[in-house]
Structure 1
Amino acid sequence: MSIITRAWRATALATTMMGIALGGSALAADYTLSINTALATSDPLFKGLEEFKQTVEARTNGKVAVRLFPGSQLGKDEDVLEQARYGAGVAVVVDGGRLATYVKEFGVLGGPYLASGYDGIRKVVTSPMFEEWVKKLHDGAGLQVLSFNWWQGERHLLTNKPVAKPADLSGVRMRTPGAPVWMETIRAMGATPAPMGWADVYPALQQGVIDAVEAQHPASYGSRLYEVTKHLTKTGHFNLITGIVGSAKWFDGLPPDIRKTLREAALTAGDTASRGTEASLAQIEKDMAAKGVTVTEVDTKPFREATAGVYAKLGYSDLKTQIDALMAK
């Protein structure tokens, strides 16, 4: 894609968003930030985004208007990130795998069995080490992290046949995001990775294009995957941590006090959202079971052993050692 084409797309996107966000406050504000997310409005993380919006608009006295676009209304994450790189006032709730294209270190956040629960992964994404990655992303890719403590839960397997060990996944076509660390992990677990957009998962399962999917509970239930899968196997292989990432150029053009407000509000709202996710998991499992899905606890040791080599294969051995040391503190 040429620079001219990209610039035209950025202008077109900004025009489209202005047309969508017709509220008076957006037109009166000095700055507008439009946040794109694949999440449904029922997801606990979306409630956190609503808190972020309210906090930012209140603390800036309306100088910043925040607009939320659930269901990927502004397009694919990668496309929105590209617009952000060219200075558009957009951001996206995105995982580290997609950012690894720009700064490799972010990819390790999607590694198998990296941390335990939200408290574990939060230690990584609020550390001085992580802030070094944030600076590299800002300086090298033109992208600004507001905060990266938006936990969507551990990811588990949803299949139409029982799964107890990696060998049971042989020949299973499993949807996963297209980032290398995700795909390599699913391959190591025994399945065949099938990258595709989240919106395509339900019809793909329904039509037999894929056999299975791996996902966190809020997304699985929110997308009604209980209608097209029969078994939920609790492997907890990924700890899905995401962040609000937008334009470095747009961010740098803000007054210092507003930049500070955005980052502080994002961190606080991320904690609220993540604790909401934690509180929702047990009930979601009960609801899935009530819909006819068999929820199974399995011994994760075979899956941990099968995926242990992923870090070395993708060049993350040293970084994994640093993270393990951080976790031990």
Structure 2
Amino acid sequence: MLNERSGGRINAQHFPAAQLGGLSELLEGSRIGTIQVTTAGPDSEEAIAPEIAAFGGAPGFIYKSEEHVDAVLQGELGQQVSDIARAKTGVEFVAYGETGFRHILSKNPVHSLDDLNGLKIRVPELKIWVDFWTLLGAAPTPLPYSEQYSALSTGIIDAIDSDVFSIVGFKFYEQAPHLTLTGHWFLPKAVRVNAAWLDSLPEDLQTLVRESAKEVFAEQRAINRANADKTLEELKTLGVQVYELPAEERARMEELTAPLFDEFGSKSPETAEMIKKIRDLG
């Protein structure tokens, strides 16, 4: 779309499947401009701008529904976070996509918190995710996203947490056939554009980048939500056993991880304020 609408003045090339490196390399590249655009959860900015990490779903159970997500991401708060990202990290969040609510996919069934004890679950290489699962009694194992399938197959991990689309798309279900619906974390995807590169473009191309991203990712969110139930049914036909975590067990998960809100908020007054703003909109 960028190539066509710019009349060739932008030459956009796509490098999927970690061709340009893992998450840390992609984040750094987008900050310094060796990569002009990438997507990542805002929680990836925990070290530089923890208030943005809160916006990205940290520290779990912060988003209550898709309507709550929209009120946060697509409103004034979404623009405010983009401004913070630009000032602190050198990237502008030009739009927000999503992977949706995450659930537990495991080799063995997870029916209760007791089943999480010692469970080797893959997490991103971010402290907040490690803290979240540690509080639940699991054994969080930081690994790059691209290593999940092989880590499941070799026994390095027993489980992952994932949205339903990724479970199908990356065939994680082949190694872990049990899915427990927890909805413990909603992960937005910020479309990160290097601010210096964006500022170097003529004004009409700056507008094109921003407006094209908003258009495409509005469509992505709509498709994502429309197909969630369909994808869940597809997983069942692929042999995945799907369980609903009992309400009382999910409430226990929320209770055990609730201290993370105060702990995470203590990183800065801005972080505590951001957490409050997000929760107030829910």
The two structures have a TM-score, normalised by structure 2, of 0.90
1:279 partner letter: A
Query: 1:321: which partner in 2?
Result: 276
Residues 35-87 of structure 1 deviation map (CA, whole Å, 9 limit, x = unaligned): xxxxxxxxxxxxxxxxxxx2x33432332232222212111232123223333
**Counterpart among 39, 50, 55 of residue 104 in structure 1:** 50
Residues 8-47 of structure 1 deviation map (CA, whole Å, 9 limit, x = unaligned): xxxxxxxxxxxxxxxxxxxxxxxxxxxxxxxxxxxxxxxx
Whole-angstrom CA distance in 2 between matches of 1:232 and 1:118? 21
Mapping 1:268-287, distance limit 5 Å: 268-287=215-234
Query: 1:83: which partner in 2?
Result: 29
CA RMSD of aligned residues (A): 1.8
Query: 1:309: which partner in 2?
Result: 259
Report how far residue 89 of structure 1 moved.
4.9
2:150 is the counterpart of 1:200: no
**Counterpart among 219, 222, 233 of residue 169 in structure 2:** 222
Contact 1:87–1:247, Cα closer than 8 Å, also in 2: yes
Whole-angstrom CA distance in 2 between matches of 1:240 and 1:85? 21
**1:102/1:317 Cα in 2 relative to 1: closer, same or farther (>3 Å)?**
closer
Residues 252-288 of structure 1 deviation map (CA, whole Å, 9 limit, x = unaligned): 1011222122112211211111111112222221222
Report how far residue 119 of structure 1 moved.
3.1
Residues 234-264 of structure 1 deviation map (CA, whole Å, 9 limit, x = unaligned): 0000111111112111111011222122112
Contact 2:30–2:38, Cα closer than 8 Å, also in 1: no
Quick check: 154-163 or 314-323, which moved more? 314-323
**1:118/1:61 Cα in 2 relative to 1: closer, same or farther (>3 Å)?**
farther
Structure 2 runs not aligned, ≥5 long: 266-270
Query: 1:72: which partner in 2?
Result: 18
CA radius of gyration, larger in? 1
2:279 partner letter: D
Contact 2:178–2:241, Cα closer than 8 Å, also in 1: yes
Whole-angstrom CA distance in 2 between matches of 1:89 and 1:206? 32
Query: 2:126: which partner in 1?
Result: 179
1:274 partner letter: R
Whole-angstrom CA distance in 2 between matches of 1:272 and 1:119? 16
SS in 2 for 1:74: coil
2:94 is the counterpart of 1:139: no
Contact 1:142–1:248, Cα closer than 8 Å, also in 2: yes
Query: 1:120: which partner in 2?
Result: 68
Report how far residue 110 of structure 1 moved.
2.3
Query: 1:238: which partner in 2?
Result: 185
Residues 64-115 of structure 1 deviation map (CA, whole Å, 9 limit, x = unaligned): 2322222121112321232233333521111112122221111112221222
Query: 1:47: which partner in 2?
Result: none
Whole-angstrom CA distance in 1 between matches of 2:141 and 2:17? 21
SS in 1 for 2:11: strand
Structure 1 runs not aligned, ≥5 long: 1-53
Whole-angstrom CA distance in 1 between matches of 2:76 and 2:225? 25
Q: Which runs of 4 or more aligned residues in structure 1 lie more than 4 Å from their structure 2 counterparts after TM superposition?
A: none
**1:161/1:229 Cα in 2 relative to 1: closer, same or farther (>3 Å)?**
same
Whole-angstrom CA distance in 2 between matches of 1:174 and 1:199? 15
Query: 2:159: which partner in 1?
Result: 212
SS in 1 for 2:180: strand
Contact 1:166–1:306, Cα closer than 8 Å, also in 2: no
2:9 is the counterpart of 1:59: no
Query: 2:268: which partner in 1?
Result: none
Contact 2:94–2:210, Cα closer than 8 Å, also in 1: yes
**1:146/1:301 Cα in 2 relative to 1: closer, same or farther (>3 Å)?**
same
SS in 2 for 1:66: coil
Q: Percent identity?
A: 25
Whole-angstrom CA distance in 2 between matches of 1:209 and 1:81? 26
Contact 1:97–1:180, Cα closer than 8 Å, also in 2: no
Aligned residues: 272
**Counterpart among 230, 240, 243 of residue 293 in structure 1:** 240
Whole-angstrom CA distance in 1 between matches of 2:119 and 2:35? 41
Contact 2:120–2:138, Cα closer than 8 Å, also in 1: yes
1:66 partner letter: A
SS in 2 for 1:213: strand
Whole-angstrom CA distance in 1 between matches of 2:34 and 2:172? 34
Mapping 1:4-23, distance limit 5 Å: none
